[in-house]
Structure 1
Amino acid sequence: MFLIILLLVASCVCEQPCPDNESVDISDVRSLEDGTIVQDGVVFPPNYVYAKNVSGEIRRFGCLCKVKNCFRKCCPMGSVFHERICTEMPDFDVIKNEGLNLHYSSKFRKKVEMKDRTFDMLYGKPCAAIYLEDNTWYVQEDGELYVDIPSNIPPVIIYKPDKYCIDTFVNEKNETQLNALICFVTKPDNNNYALSSSCMLISCFFILLTVAVYAFLPELRNLHGMVLMAYLLSFFVGFLFFATMQILILRKEISQEECTVLTFIIYFSLLSAFFWLNVMCYDIWWTFSGKRATSGRHGSVMKRFCCYAGYAFGVPTVLTVILGALEFSDLPMQHPLLPKLRLQGCFLYGTSKLIYLYGPIVVLCVANLIFFTLTAIKIAQIKRDTEMLRSKDSSTHDQDRKDTQRMNLSCSRFSLYVKLFAVMGVNWILEVVSSFYPEADFFWQFSDAYNVLVGLIIFIIFVCKKKTFKLIKKRIQYLKDGGISRGQTTTSTSTRTLSTQSRDDVQMSTIKNTTAAA
């Protein structure tokens, strides 16, 4: 995981700070002592300047859109589109003569003349494959093109300056019209939906199978097992509705209202899953901290589980309510806290996804790492103390041996949590990487394929073990015998006594196996 992060950071550092079509040539301008370059009143810091070999000559370029709001004009100033080519016709250039009609908020528009502009212009078509936009559009104050398509999902598409250009079009009658050219998307986003939804449904199968095994075996329905089942069911709901949403988008059988409802369900489910994972990490740290016993009465276990459930479901509920309140509030469209669920299609996107989904997940992952670190330190301390006691001929040796056996059981559980955290950590690292590189099909396909592995790996970690297989075999035999375990001749023994005895046998067997392995 750390290697992946380091590789990503290294790749970002090695990349040039902006695409070529968002930069201007500043080779003829001398730099200041600190490396800053000033051209026509625009200041380019050193981190937004890069060099490139152009026709055998090293030229310097500055990232214009990084330091100033910029808009893209298809033809040079004074030239317009006439007969589908850029033609020098200054009198017909609407942008030069009349300015640009900018959209400054969701409430009003403002005409900005070229002489009073606070932005700069880029020139030239951003891509080879380009088409004429015939929907309602306008340029925002941040330089992005807002296109309104009421019949589409999403109903609004926003293009950055590297995906569009605007200019004046002149027809045979010398009539002018300001219009926008949009880059063709080489591969629509929903092309990945078929693979992604299939992968998530397969993962859902293995997740549900893991939950069924834990629900089938009474020995696994302790506090640890109930927390794990709640975690897996939350992920199951999130993956299931996410796959359903993508399938409906592919079939074009979903409305914007349905998209919004599904988004809230998926958002709540995914957050709940990560809060349950946080509960697991806290619970194992609490166990090793010595503040509570490793076992307890059924009532105390249920009370603790209810407290965990209140936290793992309560906080996501509050966050979901906040998300909905902000979405349906009167915040202006350009406000950074506006989720824009109804404008950006199904689920969170861009800055909203970073704030409302990745933000809480990062905080929880940091907290989990802290719990894991503290637990690992405590385990090392207990093992060191145990080794010291073993070297002494103490009268409390038997008690120390029992404590060591209980610790080995907790260590095994801790190892499972670490594996689970690593599996989900890789999944969300891939998700973040693919969101930063939306056009990189390799990341998307690898991330979608990994969604299959999530459910399968969880199934292997928690079910595909000799201990679990023995428990399943014993449980099936118990049910075949009509609820009476093999070797018991008394029919008056209650089911509760049998379950308790079976659970004790499993614990003693696990203790012996763990001790033998040590």
Structure 2
Amino acid sequence: MQAFLIILVMITTTASLCDEDYSVKKVQTSSDGINTSAFTDGTKRDCECSEKVCARKCCPLGTGYVLEEKKCVPVLDGFNPPVWEEHTLLKGYNATENMYFLIGKMNCTRDKGEIRIPLEPAIDTYHLRTDGELYVDIPSNIPPVIIYKPDKYCIDTFVNEKNETQLNALICFVTKPDNNNYALSSSCMLISCFFILLTVAVYAFLPELRNLHGMVLMAYLLSFFVGFLFFATMQILILRKEISQEECTVLTFIIYFSLLSAFFWLNVMCYDIWWTFSGKRATSGRHGSVMKRFCCYAGYAFGVPTVLTVILGALEFSDLPMQHPLLPKLRLQGCFLYGTSKLIYLYGPIVVLCVANLIFFTLTAIKIAQIKRDTEMLRSKDSSTHDQDRKDTQRMNLSCSRFSLYVKLFAVMGVNWILEVVSSFYPEADFFWQFSDAYNVLVGLIIFIIFVCKKKTFKLIKKRVTGCRKVNTNHNEVNNFHNKIISRWRDGERNASVETFKTLDGVDTRTGSNGIVQL
């Protein structure tokens, strides 16, 4: 005989195959081990949900739930909840025939800070989907739409004090969002922003670093800085519950544009270093030529993200049906991109850029190996062009050093976004989120170490500071000399005036008819 009991509210670990929340406890029955998991308490459970879509009913069939008394009572109403395919109600769909209903209230004690609440009015706030998940609409929440799996909800016929019935649901509602993750993540991003801004300040302070390479790097870092700063701001506002859905949407567009711009500038770096070693670049280092190339790079690095951001906004506010895969659903999912939208509009372009960067790096590495091989062959021969060879070698070493910096930067950002992608696929892995947030601190610090903490940079800073002091000293000396000259001139003028008056006293003067003193 097979009996179905209410799912136990406990935390257990399965030995294999299926989760306790999606299985049915079996009592007094034999089993061949197929679709069965053993639990630490010695019970056996059948994995019914591996063969059929599962949903959850609060009470056994033929009974309803009394919320005030928290008990199940017999009801005459049949149980056949409406089922939806995305946002379309399926007419004629029989839920009890096409779904398997797990019996019993869900476990809301697994995650701290969760309670059971009723949804009223039921028909306006939730609907059951064909995959067994409950789609819940809470307009005051960010995101306003939450999707619950069968282990976090139960649906049933609810009976009130007047003995009236209504289809309703209980959900595990998180009374306190995961504030620790938001607080840690925003703090880490702000720390990283400090080091990024410090790196930009060093490059802006040193004229020797304000070449094409330096300007591209500063543009990349500033784009990254803006993205991190606004992302941290958004999380802080969510944490303090001081943000509206409209503000979320605006911040999403700013962050999206900034992060994409950063990756396009990284792509510019990879292209530029490949162009340098390809031998196609002109040797002219004139300021006009450098600025022209930088403007071309800026048009690409800011232009393409602008187009992508406009497309994102146009699709978001378009008349596409809710179930359309290209609809970003920014206003439904809360702040920033989630799920399929994030995969298409953010990870998609980033993956394309990363593949292109790897191609540029590979071609550059091959070219460097070829140049080194040719250089060694020239050194082995007697040549009258040793000076030119030495200059070429120095130029190549400088370019190789820059290539090494770009590879390190690409590796740092690659690890950062691998962590971001993995954490998106496993949102409940708190430890992984904390590790990813901690790495966000290291991103800015590592960038600062790679591009600033070098002997050459320190020497340039020392030279610049010493030069500024000398300029100030010379300026002070010039001012002092100027003041002395003015002082002596004034003293001389005063003395000259006194002598003039003395001379006039000893000379016969007479006044003309016009009143002018005549000598």
- The TM-score, its normalising length taken from structure 1, stands at 0.78
Q: Structure 2 vs 1, CA of residues 299 and 25 (structure 1 numbering), >3 Å: closer, same or farther?
A: farther
Q: Structure 2 vs 1, CA of residues 278 and 258 (structure 1 numbering), >3 Å: closer, same or farther?
A: same
Tell me the number of residue pairs that the alignment of Structure 1 and Structure 2 aligns.
Answer: 448
CA contact (8 A) 1:263 1:347 kept: yes
Percent same amino acid among aligned pairs?
A: 80
The answer for the alignment partner of 2:371 in structure 1 is 382
> Gaps (5+ residues) in structure 2?
1-14, 110-114, 475-519
CA contact (8 A) 2:270 2:357 kept: yes
CA contact (8 A) 2:25 2:43 kept: no
Q: For 1:315-464, what aligned pairs fall within 5 Å after superposition? A: 315-464=304-453
SS of the counterpart of 2:213?
A: helix
Q: Give distance in 1, aligned partners of 2:348 and 2:367.
A: 29
SS of the counterpart of 2:116?
A: strand
Please give the per-residue CA displacement for 1:250-274, whole angstroms capped at 9, x wherever unaligned: 2222111111001100000001001
SS of the counterpart of 2:82?
A: strand
Deviation at 1:159, TM superposition (A): 2.0
Q: Structure 2 vs 1, CA of residues 57 and 81 (structure 1 numbering), >3 Å: closer, same or farther?
A: closer
Instruction: Give 1:100's match in structure 2, choosing from 81, 99, 102.
Output: 81
The answer for the alignment partner of 2:118 in structure 1 is 133
Deviation at 1:451, TM superposition (A): 1.4
Q: For 1:282-301, what aligned pairs fall within 5 Å after superposition? A: 282-293=271-282, 296-301=285-290
Please give the per-residue CA displacement for 1:91-134, whole angstroms capped at 9, x wherever unaligned: 33x42xxx22234455x534545279655444443424351233
1:74 aligns with 2:58: yes
Q: Structure 2 vs 1, CA of residues 58 and 102 (structure 1 numbering), >3 Å: closer, same or farther?
A: closer
1:61 aligns with 2:50: no
1:22 aligns with 2:22: yes
1:85 aligns with 2:71: yes
Q: For 1:437-516, what aligned pairs fall within 5 Å after superposition? A: 437-482=426-471
SS of the counterpart of 2:166?
A: strand
Q: Structure 2 vs 1, CA of residues 115 and 422 (structure 1 numbering), >3 Å: closer, same or farther?
A: closer
SS of the counterpart of 1:81?
A: strand
Q: Structure 2 vs 1, CA of residues 372 and 312 (structure 1 numbering), >3 Å: closer, same or farther?
A: same
SS of the counterpart of 2:330?
A: coil
Q: Give distance in 2, aligned partners of 1:375 and 1:393.
A: 29
SS of the counterpart of 1:75?
A: coil
Please give the per-residue CA displacement for 1:460-509, whole angstroms capped at 9, x wherever unaligned: 11111111111112112222232899xxxxxxxxxxxxxxxxxxxxxxxx
Give the AA of the match of 1:237: V
1:164 aligns with 2:153: yes
The answer for the alignment partner of 1:182 in structure 2 is 171
Give the AA of the match of 1:381: Q
Q: Structure 2 vs 1, CA of residues 367 and 16 (structure 1 numbering), >3 Å: closer, same or farther?
A: farther
CA contact (8 A) 1:287 1:294 kept: no
CA contact (8 A) 2:117 2:172 kept: no
> Gaps (5+ residues) in structure 1?
1-14, 32-36, 38-48, 486-518
Q: Give distance in 1, aligned partners of 2:197 and 2:166.
A: 58
CA contact (8 A) 1:194 1:250 kept: yes
SS of the counterpart of 1:271?
A: helix
Q: For 1:104-119, what aligned pairs fall within 5 Å after superposition? A: 104=85, 106=87, 109-114=89-94, 118-119=98-99
The answer for the alignment partner of 1:499 in structure 2 is none
- The TM-score, its normalising length taken from structure 2, stands at 0.78
The answer for the alignment partner of 1:311 in structure 2 is 300
SS of the counterpart of 1:139?
A: strand
CA contact (8 A) 1:25 1:62 kept: no
Q: Structure 2 vs 1, CA of residues 207 and 474 (structure 1 numbering), >3 Å: closer, same or farther?
A: same
Q: Give distance in 2, aligned partners of 1:282 and 1:268.
A: 21
Q: Give distance in 2, aligned partners of 1:23 and 1:387.
A: 69
Higher-Rg member (1/2): 2
Give the superposed CA RMSD: 3.0
SS of the counterpart of 2:76?
A: helix
